[in-house]
Structure 1
Amino acid sequence: MKKEMLISSLIEKGWFHAEDFLPQEFCLELLEECKTLEWKTAHVGAGNLKQEALEIRNDSIFWIDEKSASNLQTKYLEEMHSLMGEINRELYLGLREFECHFAHYKTSGFYKKHLDQHKGSQKRVVSAIFYLNEPVAGGELVIYSKENPETVEAKIKPRPGSFVCFLSNQIYHEVLPTESERYSLTGWFRTL
């Protein structure tokens, strides 16, 4: 049922949000795993344009490599590959792979308004965020209207188990400053 709603919401609005998309227990286990990761400062851009830009984003990330993924990470990747198959069946987007990383925002962490598709590349098609915890305050995801990127369409409070996805090249979004730590898995359904 949620996956059917996801498809229709992507068509109508360009984005989708659901609470309890995956079980709470799964979130707690992944959250515990986060404490063992070696975080790196996140960058903006790709290739030769990749750079650290703390005035734009100040989160840390840990990329998931399918070959060395833990059992929990593999389970999440399997869920996303299954979802990718359903999106392809319904929307014919030609998605071929899913890449993702853990994201950690410390207190006062933020990511200013942006699109997820890199300049000069059309590979990222659908962005996906799965929340692992609920910050005390702040850290909301602001979704802007597909038709008017100056209009706020939603402010989504991170909650364990909730899921958001949106069209990477059409939906501007930002992460508001957090008042406590915020953990998620952020990824992209891609063409090759």
Structure 2
Amino acid sequence: MKKEMLIEMLVEKGWFHQEDFLEQNFCLELLAEARHLEWKQAQIGKGDKKQEATSIRSDSIVWIEEESATAAQKNYLTQMNDLMKTLNQELYLGLKEYECHFAQYSAAGFYKKHLDQHTGSKARVISSILYLNEPQKGGELVIYNREKPDVIEQVITPKPGSFVCFLSNQIYHEVLPTESERFSLTGWFRNTL
């Protein structure tokens, strides 16, 4: 993991991407676990404004709870908590926790252009995605320019071990429709518990 480059890119562009961020065998272990989970339709919003909106996002999720996490999931959480310490040391962000869930996009699954920060809340500071598989076609992540949110800056093809992180309140992004299953771990470094 090139933490120096990650910090530099977050400051310069507001996002970072690296293939082979984590070993593929580790990702395949997480993928095998993901295939046996009981999925729930993802929602948008927070609290009493939370709702299903399948015209905006059509993925399913399963939250990782530390108390019930498997050894592989705990390993991932530990790595993200180590990264959180680095982010705090280098960028003085005051991050306090990392939360994440498995995400599954079935065939034709998508998530339209959005920011990851809830309205009225600044808790989510940095978003992260670890890809666990490579769909046959589609499912790319589109990153939009921080200064010009109508301009596409990068299109990232999901590959196992590939990692993306970005500023939750500044980087618009979307998941293009996928033609086969797409699995990832999606999370947020937060400044409030």
Query: Aligning the two structures, in what range does the TM-score lie when normalised by the shorter sequence?
Result: over 0.9
Displacement after TM superposition at 1:85 (Å): 0.3
- Alignment-derived partner of residue 183 in structure 2: 183
Give the count of matched residue pairs: 192
Deviations 1:106-144 (A, max 9, x none): 000000000000000000000000000000010000000
Match of residue 8 from structure 1: 8
- Report the AA paired with residue 187 of structure 1: G
- Alpha-carbon deviation of 1:30? 0.5
Question: Where in structure 1 do 4 or more consecutive aligned residues deviate above 2 Å?
Answer: none
Structural mapping, 1:33-182, within 5 Å = 33-182=33-182
Using the TM superposition, give the Cα deviation of residue 48 of structure 1 relative to its aligned residue in structure 2, in angstroms.
Answer: 1.2
Where does residue 29 of structure 2 map in the other structure? 29
Which structure 2 residue ranges, 5 or more long, are not aligned?
none
How far apart are residue 36 of structure 1 and its match? 1.4
Equivalent position SS for 2:5: helix
Task: Give the Cα separation in 2 of the matches to 1:74 and 1:133.
Answer: 20
Q: Secondary structure at the match of 2:68?
A: coil
TM-score by length of 2: 0.99
1:62, CA displacement in angstroms? 0.3
Letter in 2 for 1:133: N
Letter in 2 for 1:126: I
Give RMSD over aligned pairs: 0.6
The one-letter amino acid of 1:79's match is: Q
CA drift of 1:17 comes to 0.1
Q: Distance in 1 between matches of 2:35 and 2:106?
A: 13
- Secondary structure of 2:104's partner? strand
Q: How far off its partner does 1:2 sit? A: 1.2
User: What TM-score comes out, normalization by structure 1 length?
Assistant: 0.99
- Residue by residue, what CA displacement relative to the aligned partner does 1:53-90 show, whole Å, maximum 9, x if unpaired? 00000000000001111111000000000000001000
* Aligned position for 1:18: 18
Q: Which runs of 5+ in 1 are unaligned?
A: none
| Aligned counterparts of 1:124 and 1:25: Cα–Cα separation in 2 | 29
Superposed CA offset, 1:17-57 (max 9, x none) = 00000001001101100121110000001101100000000
How many Å separate the matches in 1 of 2:4 and 2:18? 12
